Amino acid sequence: MDRRDFMQICGAGLAMVAISNCGPVSSHIGADVTPKKRPNILWIISEDTSPDMACYGNPIVKTPNLDRLAAEGVMYTNAFASGPVCSAIRSGLMTGMYQTAIDAHNHRSHRSDGYRLPKPVEVITEYFRRAGYFTSNAGNLDFSRAGKTDWNFDPGVKPFDGIDWRQRKPGQSFFAQINLQMTHRTFVRDKEHPIDPASVEVPPYYPDYPLTRRDWTDYLESIQVLDRMVGQVLQRLENDGLADDTVVFYFGDHGRCHVRGKQWLYEGGIRIPLLVRYPGYLKAGSVCDDLVSTIDFGPTSMYLAGISIPTHMQGQSFVGQQTRKRDRVICARDRCDETDDRIRCIRTKQYKYIRNFHPDRSYLQFNAYKKNQYPVLTLLQVLHKQGKLTEVQERFMAKTRPEEELYDLKNDPHEIYNLAEDPKYTHVLRELRDRLETWIIETDDKGRFPEPQEVQEYWDTYMTQQYEGWMKRKGLSAAVSDEEYLAWWEKKMLNT
CATH number at residue 58: 3.40.720.10
The predicted structure's pLDDT at residue 30: 43
Contacts of 189 by beta carbon, 8 Å cutoff, 6+ apart = 218, 221, 222
Does residue 304 form part of some domain?
Answer: yes
Q: Residue 27: pLDDT above 90?
A: no
Q: Per residue in 148-184, pLDDT tens? A: 999 999 999 999 999 999 999 999 999 999 999 999 9
As a whole-number percent, the residues of the chain with pLDDT over 90 amount to 90
DSSP assignment string, 22-86: -S-B-TTTTTT--TTSPPEEEEEEESS--S-SGGGT-TTS--HHHHHHHHHSEEEEEEE-SSSSH
242 and 362 together in one domain: no
Same structural domain, 350 and 317:
no
In a domain, 47, yes or no: yes
pLDDT band at 37; cut points 50, 70, 90:
confident
Q: Mean pLDDT over all residues of the chain? A: 92
* 21 found inside a domain: no
Strand ranges (DSSP E) for 223-378? Answer: 246-252, 271-277, 286-293, 324-326, 329-333, 343-347, 351-356
What pLDDT is attached to residue 19? 31
Short-list 361, 440, 435, 433, CA closest to 402 = 361
> Residue 117: inside a domain, yes or no?
yes
The verdict on 358 and 317 lying in the same domain is no
pLDDT at 29 over 50: no
pLDDT at 495: 85
Give 45's strand partners: 179, 251
Rounded Cα distance between 5 and 11, Å, is 13
Domain boundary among 287, 321, 355: 321
- Residues whose CB is less than 8 angstroms from the CB of residue 335 and which lie 6 or more positions away in sequence, other chains included: 106, 107, 109, 341, 451, 456, 459
What was the pLDDT predicted at 99? Answer: 98
Same domain, 247 and 130: yes
Whether residues 139 and 234 share a domain: the answer is: yes
Per-residue pLDDT at 487 exceeds 50: yes
Domain end residue (candidates: 269, 286, 321) = 321
Shared domain for 179 and 287, answered yes or no, is: yes
Q: What is the mean pLDDT of residues 64-84?
A: 98
**2 occurs within a structural domain:** no
* Mean pLDDT (whole number) for 30-35: 44
Q: Nearest to residue 24, comparing CAs of 282, 279, 278, 274?
A: 282
**The predicted structure's pLDDT at residue 11:** 37
Among the listed residues 389, 317, 368, the one whose alpha carbon sits nearest the alpha carbon of residue 471: 368
Give the chain's domain count: 2
Residue 193, phi-psi category: left (phi > 0), alpha (psi -120 to 50), beta (remainder): beta
SS3 311: coil
Asked whether residue 8 is domain-assigned, the answer is no
Choose one of 321, 352, 369: the last residue of a domain: 321
What are the angstrom distances between the C-alpha of 215 and each of 39, 139, 154, 370, 393?
A: 41, 26, 36, 14, 17
Please check whether residue 147 lies inside any domain of the structure. yes
Residues 294-306 have pLDDT tens digits of 999 999 999 999 9
Residue 127 in this model has a pLDDT that exceeds 60: yes
pLDDT class of 112 with cuts at 50, 70, 90 = low
Which pLDDT band holds residue 111 (cuts at 50, 70, 90)? low
* Averaged pLDDT, 97-118: 91
Per-residue pLDDT tens over the stretch 402-416: 999 999 999 999 999
pLDDT tens track for 261-298: 999 999 999 999 999 999 999 999 999 999 999 999 99
Phi-psi domain of 202 (left: phi exceeds 0; alpha: psi -120 through 50; beta: other): beta
**Bridge-partner residues for 292, per DSSP?**
79
Q: What is the pLDDT of residue 3?
A: 35
Same domain, yes or no: 42 and 171: yes
Q: Check whether 13 has a pLDDT greater than 60.
A: no
Domain that holds residue 213: 26-321
Q: What is the pTM of this model?
A: 0.93
pLDDT digits (tens, 9 = 90+) for 371-382: 999 999 999 999
**Residue 11 domain-assigned (yes or no):** no
pLDDT reading at 6 higher than 80: no
Q: Give tens-digit pLDDT for 335-356.
A: 999 999 999 999 999 999 999 9
pLDDT by residue (tens digit) across 196-205?
999 999 999 9
368 and 307 in one domain? no
Q: Based on the domain organization, do 447 and 313 belong to the same domain?
A: no
Same domain, 274 and 183: yes
Read off the pLDDT of residues 398-452 as tens digits, 9 standing for 90 and up.
999 999 999 999 999 999 999 999 999 999 999 999 999 999 999 999 999 999 9
Query: What percent of the chain clears pLDDT 70, i.e. is strictly above it?
Result: 92
> pLDDT for 128-153, tens place per residue?
999 999 999 999 899 999 999 999 99
**Are both 189 and 131 inside the same structural domain?**
yes
Same domain, 215 and 167: yes
22, pLDDT greater than 90? no
Q: Which residues of 64-79 are buried (b: 16+ CB within 10 A; e: fewer)?
A: ebbbbbbebbbbbbbb
